[in-house]
A = this chain, B = another copy of it.
Amino acid sequence: MKYKEKIFSDSSDEEPILTPYKDTGKSKETSSSREEPVAPNDDELPIINLQSETEEADDPVIVHHRHVRPASLYESLDYEICENTLWKADYKRRSQKLIFRKDLARWLIFLVIGIITALIACTINIAIDTFSEMKYGFLAKSVDENLHNGNLYVPYLYWILTSIIPVGLGAALVTYLEPVAAGSGIPQVKCYLNGVKVPRIVRIKTLVVKAIGVVTSVIGGLAGGKEGPMIHSGAVVAAGISQGKSTTFVKDFRVFRYFRDDHEKRDFVLGGASAGVASAFGAPIGGVLFSLEEAASFWNQSLIWRILVSSTISSFTLNVVLSAYYGQTDFTITGLFNLGKFDELPYKYFEIPIFVLMGICGGLLGAFWNTTNSRFHLFRARYIKPGWGKILEAMAVSLLGVSIACTMMYVINDCRTLGKDPTSYPVKLFCGDNEYNAVAALWFQTPESTAKALFHDPPESHQILTVAIFVVVYYFLSCLTFGLNVSLGIFIPTVLVGAAWGRLVSMVLQHMCPTATFLHPGKYALIGAAAQMGGVLRMTISLTVILLETTGVDSTFAFPLIITLITGKFVGDFFNEGIYDIVIRINHVPILPWEPPLKYRSLKASNIMSSPVVCVKMREKANYIIDILKRYTYNGFPVVEDVQGNDRSKGRVCGIILRSQLTVILKESLYEEKKRLWQDQISIETFRNEYPRYPTIDKFELHLDKHDYTVNFDIFMNPSPVRVGEDDSVARIFQTFRALGLRHMIVVDNENRVRGMLTRVDFIFKED
């Protein structure tokens, strides 16, 4: 308490500074416990009015806002460019040549993103293909060898081993090395594009774990695909390349420094995600549309352009590399996920009601799938907490899958003539000499190949019973699998389940009307897949385009596809959200919806804003800055002027300054043992060098003789923060907030004085 005298100094010029952090324990306790009466001397508190307003406050929203909810674990990205004096100086210094060079660099980076994303996709694909063929070839041989001596448990054991070992490995990697690499990656990318900073989501380490993880999971035979992780990989590649430095390798290449802000980075990530879609599905237009559906608010034409280029290059590169690898010269390999090209798919008018019915069916199945999956999620979150538990769980699900598959193969005797078998390694099992087991054909390959088989196998390739049981089993297996602590996507199992029941529909109909010629099983499999995807994923436009691009069907067939997808989505939306949104909600990520929540519609800004607000004066004592930084977790502080006395919240807003800027300023001026703040030495480069991991305040220990120093925010603050009136409707300001990708919005009264603050979490309705 040795600074007490200073605190109570009443020199009006040199305003009393505030007690350092270690001394404020008591006043902090006061403000939260409300036991001690407030001292009338407001000077003791850094934010005047905080105390009294909290006491008065009968609106619980204010208190809840930022500290209680888990949502606040996530920070927002800042899409707004902080056009402060430093930025303007830098902007003016830029010659025409530099602008051109920056533009060129931007194009180059988008090109490279496309190429590298495709190369990673190729590597993953080739690895999966090679290992899968080894695995299933070995298993098929083992079955044949052990069939006659009755030791069928031997291939069963082999299968179990070749499944749970890679799955366990992948789960261990994800669990212990990089937990954020779990799952599909699409929800995380979606959050990032929405403007939420998901920690570690775009690090190289995440990419490596994700890539190895997805290979092991698919080889392990889990019901999942590699497409989601591919999209995530694209995003990581984009973030990595565009920044010219890597945190994982602690290496700064000192290039592309002008791209070191959230704004630029997010544009690149958009391109990366889109390149990921392009290389995963061979669908460049689908990739652009994927980015659109997820981040439409931040679009402009030149960005669309660059994204298109990066996805085109990506799918082209993949095409070239895979064609070369597989020794083909006619570029027929367009994506990792290839459902095979359909020839013309004619349909009749009277089939449209069938398609709609299938859409409804898909919507119901999808909604039920989503609900069940989120139940599993909650169960896991509650009961499976330790790392080894998660690994064991993944291995158990793998074991379950193998066991069910073996039982099916053993019990159902669905024999078909060899010659039109869909696998590379047909299993004879109990079938005749020229036959193969159709059940084994479904299980003895990657899910992707099975989906392709269901689309393109000739009619009569399976018994109705086989497909029916397969549908039920795979439906629940995929539901159990998604959410395991492994790196795995949801796209392929959804397609597979949909294709299977779609094919089943055509088989049953054919059975009932044997003369009907229109019941092409592949067509119905495709419609089933569309219905299931509409029901589970709910991403309509990009999915339509991806399906069209992947299957190469005529645009005449676009109508049935779109109708089915839309019906599926509609029906599904009646019950719950899409699976990606469910994952996001379960993780309490404060993602901004497209429209403000219904209950917010008729409210005013003052109803939802957080207040009171911690403000800083234009010229502020270093000590006070350190104090508020240590005391609060806020990321932005309004800068005010015309302050009467110490009552900062009565000042007029003249700017906003971010926590990150404050820490950099403090580090440069005080921590670095400099005597005074040499503002000339701080340029915009200083801030860019620290991006994106700014120094934290915990490091700072202020010397006793330095707490008088004053920082002038004039050149650092953003002089034109977005301000809204306290009576402005939430619908309107939400639109602004979303369209501009803001992080902070200052609510001001009619005289431009701070009334409150709006951040992302304030816009998300809390149901409790």
Contact = CB atoms under 8 A, between A and B. Distances in A.
A555 B297 CA distance: 28
Contact of A558 (B285, B725, B735, B752): B285
A189 interface: no
Contacts of A30: none
Nearest to A570: B305
Contact of A296 (B92, B301, B550): B301
A312 B720 contact: no
Nearest to A728: B720
A91 B330 contact: no
B81 A732 contact: yes
Contacts of A54: none
B602 A562 contact: no
A595 interface: yes
Interface stretch (A1-9, A200-208, A541-549, A688-696): A541-549
Interface string A314-340: 011001100000000111101000000
A305 B654 contact: no
A727 interface: yes
Query: What interface size band does chain A fall in?
Result: 35 or more
A269 interface: no
Interface in A19-51: none
Interface string A503-545: 0000000000000000000000000000000000000110011
A83 B732 contact: yes
A676 B263 CA distance: 55
Contact of A305 (B292, B348, B540): B540
Contacts of A289: 289
A388 interface: no
Nearest to A551: B555
A348 B540 CA distance: 34
A301 B293 contact: yes
A367 to B, nearest CB: 18
A213 to B, nearest CB: 29
A554 interface: yes
Interface in A434-454: none
A541 B88 contact: no
Given A81-B732, A566-B309, A654-B750, A554 B552 contact: yes
A556 interface: yes
A376 B312 CA distance: 37
Nearest to A302: B594
A181 interface: no
Given A296-B299, A299-B296, A302-B594, A552 B549 contact: no
A562 B558 CA distance: 21
A399 to B, nearest CB: 39
11 contacts: A81-B732, A83-B729, A304-B540, A308-B540, A316-B559, A331-B346, A334-B555, A341-B554, A719-B728, A750-B752, A752-B752
Given A284-B562, A293-B301, 8 more contacts: A81-B732, A284-B555, A285-B541, A302-B594, A305-B540, A308-B566, A312-B562, A654-B750
Interface of A: 80-81, 83, 88, 91-92, 282-285, 288-289, 292-293, 296-297, 299-302, 304-305, 308-309, 312, 315-316, 319-320, 329-332, 334, 341, 346-349, 540-541, 544-545, 548-550, 552, 554-556, 558-559, 562-563, 566, 594-595, 601-602, 652, 654, 719-720, 722-725, 727-729, 731-733, 735-736, 739-740, 748, 750-752
Nearest 3 Cβ contacts at the A-B interface: A720-B728, A739-B739, A549-B555
